[in-house]
Amino acid sequence: GENVEQHPSTLSVQEGDSAVIKCTYSDSASNYFPWYKQELGKGPQLIIDIRSNVGEKKDQRIAVTLNKTAKHFSLHITETQPEDSAVYFCAASPDSNYQLIWGAGTKLIIKP
Amino acid sequence: NAGVTQTPKFRVLKTGQSMTLLCAQDMNHEYMYWYRQDPGMGLRLIHYSVGEGTTAKGEVPDGYNVSRLKKQNFLLGLESAAPSQTSVYFCASSRPLAGGYNEQFFGPGTRLTVL
């Protein structure tokens, strides 16, 4: 079955700098790759996603890139702000459309 | 719209006790899920449901049972709680679309401690 690995587990960056979180997946049939943000004491919330027929997608300060050949995808956050501090999860959707396979999460810390 | 709600928010059980976690959604979603979240392990799927009256096992179903008698509700039961079931439990719902798109909406979580 699908397996998703996420790195790093913790990332500390200076406010205003960029942050990059990387994920790899194992099932070449996966076709949908979302990123979720989990703030303290809350459930995860979708922030951006990408489908397998697209290489890059941007939404203001966040972007996601996908390399299908290498089976990895990344989240990029530019001009980081204190409110970006959270745990970020990547996920992959195998050919069945009712399950998401999740990475272990990255705790992003923005230093003032 | 309240979205996805979960009750209770916190619970402490003794080993061997039973309890039921309730999840409710008001978005008319067909799909509902129960996850557990443990430090360093991300979200692991316990059980899921693709419609009223149907349930299926996820990645870590042992020790849990579920029921989906009404479309808007998804119940998670622990018949005989064990310390290994200490975790934060999240319910989610979704309406998958073509091409694998599947945005899941999460509840606020239930923090369960088993002594």
Q: Which residues contact B105 (CB under 8 A, 6 or more apart)?
A: B3, B4, B25, B27, B29, B92, B93, B94
- Model pLDDT, residue A52: 82
Between CA A61 and CA B86 the distance in angstroms is 37
- Model pLDDT, residue A95: 62
* Mutation site, A5, A7, A98, interface B, largest B CB count within 10 A: A98
* CB–CB contact B109 A9 (8 Å): no
* Mutation site, A99, A101, A106, A107, interface B, largest B CB count within 10 A: A99
Between CA B106 and CA B95 the distance in angstroms is 13
- Model pLDDT, residue B42: 86
For chain B, which ranges sit under pLDDT 50? none
Between CA A80 and CA B10 the distance in angstroms is 33
For chain A, which ranges sit under pLDDT 70? 95-97
- Model pLDDT, residue A97: 59
Contact B109, B88 (CB under 8 A): yes
- Model pLDDT, residue B1: 75
